[in-house]
Amino acid sequence: MKKLHFISVLFLSMLIFSCSSDDTTDAPTEGPKFQASLNGGTFSNYSFQLGAYEATKGTNGNTLSIDIADTKGTAISLFLNNTDGFKTGTVKQIGNIDSDNFITHSVIRDVSTAVSYYSKTGTIKITNNREHPSNAQQRLISGEFNIVASSIDGTKTTTIKGSFEELAYNN
């Protein structure tokens, strides 16, 4: 009986000590998130919520494209050039041209009215960019943006403000 009691205590001790404070706590929180508010032009306080997304690094490794669609078909593209890289804290200026002639920009497509908006001014700030905790080939990027965009004929203007969290892309 003493052996059984000793084995039980040993097992319980190993179980408790195996859960130490150095366990990783930087796993993705609740998965990817994207939210934005669009106002002006064909949008009136439109609340954009994530339907599907794709974040891809350019073949040259110097650009990052984030393409998002909501459940109603409205689409937003954020294209980040290589100026200052993609590290946490980097602020991308809309219209900035990098050394490879890539321009940081955004395109918004309102499917219901067939109007596309092209960014004129604004910023995209990277608030976090870290290695994916369970896939060393990927990174997780988060950020916030505030952009003014106009239709191609200049007759409609919209403002888009929002954020994205934990969007995965291949490094």
pLDDT at 72 over 80: yes
d(CA 108, CA 78): 9
Position 38 in a domain: yes
Position 149 in a domain: yes
In order of 77, 78, 95, 104, 134, the CA distances from 83 in angstroms are: 18, 15, 11, 9, 28
Pairing of strands 105-110, 115-132: antiparallel
Tell me the whole-structure pTM to 2 decimals: 0.82
Position 10 in a domain: no
d(CA 14, CA 24): 19
d(CA 60, CA 118): 24
- The pLDDT value given to residue 78: 98
- The pLDDT value given to residue 59: 87
Domain that holds residue 90: 30-170
Position 69 in a domain: yes
Exposed, middle or buried by CB within 10 Å (0-12, 13-18, 19+), for 79?
buried
* Percentage of residues of the chain with pLDDT beyond 70: 83
Which position has the higher pLDDT, 117 or 25? 117
CATH number for the domain including 132?
Answer: 2.40.128
pLDDT at 40 over 90: yes
Count up the domains in the chain and report the number: 1
Mean pLDDT in the chain? Answer: 88
- The pLDDT value given to residue 31: 85
